[in-house]
């Protein structure tokens, strides 16, 4: 639980009693590579913290093409927030790109913690707002930035993933083909970046 409580402590310090209460509601799990936390059509039942490994959240369009929306690796939270809070069927998938170790909290347990440990409510507000800002920035980039600028932003946001993810996954996130991503990387390499 160290990595999770370290993340919490960066937002708000917790007492030993508060930490114990939170720990009682969180479950550890292992997900194999290509295993799913969520499949389209199912309800997102857990908020997930990544201890080790990497996940992608993606949707599939009418033509069958996948579009990566988010990555989550060590120290990140991931969930289909809309499905989690409304308990309606998701239009997204969350899949492990690597062997992963996670902590999960269910919606009822999280809501219980919001009442019993008021700091949890504030912590998840900060986590949700940070994710919202990232998504807003990404939407702005998609219609106002070049593919190269989007790639450079990806490197800023996910510096630890650029060498862990295949070109196909990064290209899907950027909305370009893997071949075009290779061309961008070669161009940046020539510029010394």
Same structural domain, 113 and 157? no
Average pLDDT rounded to a whole number, residues 165-190: 93
Let me know: does 100 contact 55? Beta carbons within 8 Å. Answer: yes
Residue 139 lies in a domain: no
Same structural domain, 103 and 10? yes
* Count: domains in the chain: 2
Reported as a single tens digit per residue, the pLDDT across 127-141 is 999 988 988 988 888
Reported as a single tens digit per residue, the pLDDT across 5-47 is 998 988 999 999 999 999 999 999 999 999 999 999 999 999 9
Residue 42 lies in a domain: yes
For the record, the structure tokens of 40 come out as: 């389209």
In the predicted structure, residue 95 carries a pLDDT above the cut 90: yes
Residue 6 lies in a domain: yes
Q: Is the pTM of this model over 0.85?
A: yes
In the predicted structure, residue 192 carries a pLDDT above the cut 80: no
Same structural domain, 79 and 43? yes
Let me know: does 148 contact 193? Beta carbons within 8 Å. Answer: no
Residue 133 lies in a domain: no
CATH number at residue 56: 2.60.120.10
Residue 88 lies in a domain: yes
Residue 171's closest CA among 78, 94, 58, 82? 58
pLDDT band at 78 (very low <50, low <70, confident <90, very high): very high
Q: What is the end-to-end Cα distance of the chain in Å, rounded?
A: 37
Alpha-carbon span 19 to 160, nearest angstrom: 29
Same structural domain, 24 and 96? yes
Same structural domain, 26 and 84? yes
Q: Output the pLDDT for position 131.
A: 87
Same structural domain, 33 and 114? yes
| Residue numbers of the domain that contains 62 | 2-124
Same structural domain, 153 and 120? no
Same structural domain, 119 and 156? no
Let me know: does 93 contact 36? Beta carbons within 8 Å. Answer: yes
Same structural domain, 94 and 44? yes
Residue 56's closest CA among 86, 100, 26? 100
Reported as a single tens digit per residue, the pLDDT across 152-162 is 999 998 899 98
In the predicted structure, residue 125 carries a pLDDT above the cut 90: yes
Which CA distances in Å does 67 have to 1, 12, 117, 132? Answer: 32, 35, 37, 18
Same structural domain, 64 and 149? no
Same structural domain, 9 and 95? yes
Q: Output the pLDDT for position 2.
A: 87
Between 18-22, 141-145, 147-151, the lowest mean confidence (pLDDT) is in 141-145
Same structural domain, 17 and 80? yes
């Amino acid at each position: 639980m160290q990595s999770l409580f370290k993340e919490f402590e960066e937002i708000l310090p917790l007492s030993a009693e508060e930490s114990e209460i939170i720990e009682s509601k969180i479950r550890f799990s292992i997900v194999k590579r290509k295993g799913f936390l969520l499949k389209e059509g199912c309800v997102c039942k857990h908020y997930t913290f990544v201890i080790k490994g990497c996940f992608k959240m993606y949707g599939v369009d009418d033509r069958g093409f996948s579009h990566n929306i988010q990555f989550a690796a060590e120290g990140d939270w991931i969930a289909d927030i809309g499905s989690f809070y409304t308990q309606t069927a998701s239009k997204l998938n969350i899949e492990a790109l690597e062997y992963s170790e996670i902590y999960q909290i269910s919606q009822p347990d999280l809501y219980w913690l919001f009442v019993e440990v008021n700091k949890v409510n504030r912590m998840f507000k900060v986590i949700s707002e940070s994710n919202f800002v990232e998504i807003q920035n990404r939407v702005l980039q998609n219609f106002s930035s070049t593919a190269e600028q989007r790639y450079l932003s990806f490197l800023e946001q996910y510096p630890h993933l650029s060498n862990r993810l295949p070109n196909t996954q990064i290209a899907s996130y950027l909305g370009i083909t893997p071949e075009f991503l290779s061309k961008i990387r070669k161009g940046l390499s020539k510029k010394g970046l």
